[in-house]
Structure 1
Amino acid sequence: MEGKLTMAPRLERFVSPGKGNGLRAAARIRRGELVTTAEPLACCVSNKLARDVCHQCFTRCGTLLRCSQCKMARYCNVSCQKQAWAGHKRECKCLRSLLPRVPTDSVRLAARLIFALFSSSKSSSAELYSLDEHESHLNSMSEQKKQGLSQLASMLELYLQPEVPDPTQASVLPPSCQEALSLIAKVTCNCFTISDGELQEIGVGLYPSLSLLNHDCRPNCVMVFEGTKLQLRAVRDVNPEEELTISYIETLSLTEDRRRQLEDQYHFTCHCQRCDSHDKDGLMLSGEESTWRPLKEALPRLEALKAESNWQVLLESCNQLLSGDGGTVPIENLYKLRILDMALDASIHLEQWDKALIYGVETLKVYRRFYPDPHPVHGIQLMRVGKLQHYLEHIEDALNTFREAYKIMKLTHGDDHPLTIDLTMKMEECRSEMDKQSFSRQ
């Protein structure tokens, strides 16, 4: 798998003041424009979804063919299985040697990177940012974190034994990556989460040149995926020589929580305009603390129920919280919004469509305020609510919601993304159903 980046002359590497390397616009980029696309140098499906997602094309499927040897890799059809074999054969041998243990996502990704470099005949000189230059951040890590990474490095060495007995002898690796600890650190700090159409995590991948993109809590670009292909799109107009930024994390959280997460995961303190001004923190903590604190304290338990797919208990718990004192908490409150979102998820899984629609409509009132720029999360939420309205035959409401989603998604995903195509078909269905209704009334 070659880490190819479709580079436009609109994009150039530069040194960003206070941030190190970065990417900036070499020409004017308009809002909604596709800045660049990239294929991963290496990628893998997340362990927790290994049974549900094709390991070649990253499509979710009800039934998948399983590799008869390692029993882990799964494919949607024989064609995907054949295409995957060149990259999977080394991995297959390593997976078999560790059974019944399964290495973590980062260990599998680091190994796949080595295998990709072994089988790559092409030069990666087209990359703006080489693997050798990637930061490992080992010097700025706590001892505890370093210890955790050392355990992963030991697991990587053990896992690679059947194929690469001594990584330091692997001439395909740049010198700074030949030590397992350095390689694991670089992979964990620089990999991207690959998400599906619903923005749910399905895997991890390395896109070397796009690791140059710096973070901003209100970025001017967003990333969406089509399979494993990464698309970078501008969500605001960008002037020549202006830095291109993305958000490394979900931005719908308090400044102190965003900063803590960025420090823990990426080893820097964010000083973007939004963090320095504590923008929207007051709105996210709307209401009396005595009424919203129980909602905040309940979140870890609710998230555990969601992780276990215990939808019935999750919905009952959310309902209880939202109908007690939580009912008086303003809807803009971050903790109330999170509980509404979980209640929406649980209602959809339990096929309680009317209830799901009530929760979905409530969340949209707040999403508009928290996502001032076109944002994939807002577009997907609108699409989900539109589908509920359509299913419950609120056709006119559904069409209006789909139109609002389209305004966002034509900018964040582009007109030719499968999800945007699906959305335009939904709008067409609504229009034709409305035409039939008006015809039958005549």
Structure 2
Amino acid sequence: MRAAGDGGLERFCSPGKGRGLRALQPFHVGDLLFSCPAYAYVLTVNERGNHCEYCFARKEGLSKCGRCKQAFYCNVECQVCIFINPHKQATRLPRPVQSQSESSQTSVNTWHSLARPEGGHAESVLGAGALEAAGLGQAQEAGCMETMGHLVRGKEDWPMHKLECSPMVVFGENWNPSETVRLTARILAKQKIHPERTPSEKLLAVKEFESHLEKLDNEKRDLIQSDVAALHHFYSKHLEFPDTDSLVVLFAQVNCNGFTIEDEELSHLGSAIFPDVALMNHSCCPNVIVTYKGTLAEVRAVQEISPGEEVFTSYIDLLYPTEDRNDRLRDSYFFTCQCQECTTKDKDKAKVEIRKLSDPPKAETIREMVRYARNVIEEFRRAKHYKSPSELLEICELSQEKMGSVFEDSNVYMLHMMYQAMGVCLYMQDWEGALRYGQKIIKPYSKHYPLYSLNVASMWLKLGRLYMGLEDKAAGEKALKKAIAIMEVAHGKDHPYISEIKQEIESH
């Protein structure tokens, strides 16, 4: 089955993997294989005011919805689009969603969110009457109308923000559905008003998603039941729900097939469903990479791909050794990877490098330290929700001190805690401390990750911006150019992020 307009690819039955995506023509490094608009998406609550709710553009001077005063838009056009045309592409999950960075999800913050001045949000307001001013309002519900060059049939359109706008006003501070619940609500709304196949489903329809329902343990089933209850609680007045069993299946599908949308520093922006992108199978040595231009997913080659070759992406952070990667894959996606990286384990020794001592540590000592490292990573993940930055930094420093008695600094468990410490330093505006950690991280990152890794690019980007902020222009420019070299392959040379970084270099 071939996608219209994407003749170089086809859906096929991949031996031992089920459905997959296969190349019908050669693709070279940096080539765009295909792009996929989001079937449904939500901006994360933490980025409201920094990014447009509709197109995800990051800019100053956003205008907020006059009713709920929580959603922000570039202008009336973006607000209108999210109400009447949720499929229009603009220029730009608590449980498993496909993300480039495991470590980025656990960092305290990123440079961008810290560098913004306090109170930098615009005070301009798109009032509740903004839609009427644009020629919408009651006309939307009455029938057909024409606005902004689009002929829109009212009964087919669903005001996506309206799903949340009124409830946010009603619930006030008690409005707290998870991102997965918010995304699932939008999927249900989309299915109701757009039951036919969408441009996001050229090769794979949402209804075809795997749920792996039979593989869920009791804990995961309980979490889904909690999500179902939250969906009813927050959206019952605005959505028609299928039966509970169908909702359980849908949540399971979202958990296995959802994506996190991330910015150039791998900071979490939101969650989305990209059906055709979800068709790709996983490999720990992928030949493509997924990046985002607003709410559009783009898939580019990071290796040479020959006709007949399967197209693989990575579902997880590739920093960690084989056992850790497969533990994550089994827990989140219910399979064990059999790629070359996993069968040979060639990189595992370097990833878990042991300190060279006159009296080498015994095998049991190493195993105990690996167990400690995994435990402290989980402890830190939980501690972020209730400990202060200084307490978090102490966890990082003490764990590094303990692990450092056995592990080299290039050991991935050491790197994980260094990355967390860097995030805490950024949050505390300790730029010199963040820079010191980044300088320790970048060389082993470049060794452990694939050649065109977004994790490496984002670290060069952080370092470059830190150098620039600390008035070391030469080092900053060098680091930013290293980030650009990777991003031109991963994001494409015309991506707005690259233009922004080049402007940063020129402005210093």
TM-score range, shorter chain: 0.7 to 0.9
AA aligned to 2:242 is P
* 1:89–1:320 CA distance, 2 compared to 1 (3 A): closer
Map 1:375-386 → 2, pairs under 5 A: 375-386=453-464
* 1:233–1:253 CA distance, 2 compared to 1 (3 A): same
Aligned partner of 1:140 in structure 2 is 215
Is 1:208 aligned to residue 208 of structure 2? no
The Cα offsets for residues 370-428 of structure 1, whole Å up to 9 and x where unpaired, read as 12321111111112112222333333333332332222111111111122122333444
1:105 paired residue among 179, 187, 190? 179
* 1:162–1:334 CA distance, 2 compared to 1 (3 A): same
Q: Which moved further from structure 2: 215-224 or 53-62?
A: 53-62
AA aligned to 1:89 is K
Q: CA deviation at 1:255?
A: 1.7
* 1:304–1:375 CA distance, 2 compared to 1 (3 A): same
* 1:364–1:413 CA distance, 2 compared to 1 (3 A): same
Aligned partner of 2:94 in structure 1 is none
Aligned partner of 1:276 in structure 2 is 343
For the residues of structure 2 that align with 1:414 and 1:52, how far apart are their CA atoms?
A: 24
For the residues of structure 2 that align with 1:134 and 1:308, how far apart are their CA atoms?
A: 36
* 1:90–1:31 CA distance, 2 compared to 1 (3 A): same
Aligned partner of 1:167 in structure 2 is 242
2:22 paired residue among 21, 24, 37? 24
The percentage of aligned residue pairs carrying the same residue is: 31
For the residues of structure 1 that align with 2:385 and 2:73, how far apart are their CA atoms?
A: 25
Map 1:373-412 → 2, pairs under 5 A: 373-412=451-490
On the 8 A contact 1:192/1:206 being kept in 2, the answer is yes
Aligned partner of 2:191 in structure 1 is 117
On the 8 A contact 1:97/1:162 being kept in 2, the answer is no
* 1:25–1:330 CA distance, 2 compared to 1 (3 A): same
On the 8 A contact 1:6/1:37 being kept in 2, the answer is no
Aligned partner of 1:438 in structure 2 is none
Scaled by the length of structure 1, what TM-score is found?
Answer: 0.84
Is 1:249 aligned to residue 249 of structure 2? no
Is 1:87 aligned to residue 160 of structure 2? yes
Gaps (5+ residues) in structure 1? 169-176, 431-442
On the 8 A contact 1:221/1:232 being kept in 2, the answer is yes
Q: CA deviation at 1:159?
A: 4.1
Which of the pair is proportionally richer in helix? 1
Aligned partner of 2:123 in structure 1 is none
Q: CA deviation at 1:157?
A: 4.0
The Cα offsets for residues 135-155 of structure 1, whole Å up to 9 and x where unpaired, read as 111122223322322332343
Aligned partner of 1:186 in structure 2 is 253
For the residues of structure 2 that align with 1:92 and 1:390, how far apart are their CA atoms?
A: 40
* 1:7–1:211 CA distance, 2 compared to 1 (3 A): farther
Q: Which moved further from structure 2: 54-63 or 410-419?
A: 54-63
Aligned partner of 1:155 in structure 2 is 230
* RMSD (Å) for aligned C-alpha atoms: 3.0
Partner-residue secondary structure (3-state), 1:237: coil
For the residues of structure 2 that align with 1:54 and 1:257, how far apart are their CA atoms?
A: 36
Aligned partner of 2:503 in structure 1 is 425
For the residues of structure 2 that align with 1:136 and 1:421, how far apart are their CA atoms?
A: 40
Partner-residue secondary structure (3-state), 1:372: coil
* 1:57–1:286 CA distance, 2 compared to 1 (3 A): same
Partner-residue secondary structure (3-state), 1:9: strand
AA aligned to 1:318 is C
Map 1:249-328 → 2, pairs under 5 A: 249-287=316-354, 288=361, 289=366, 297-304=375-382, 306-307=384-385, 310-322=388-400, 326=404
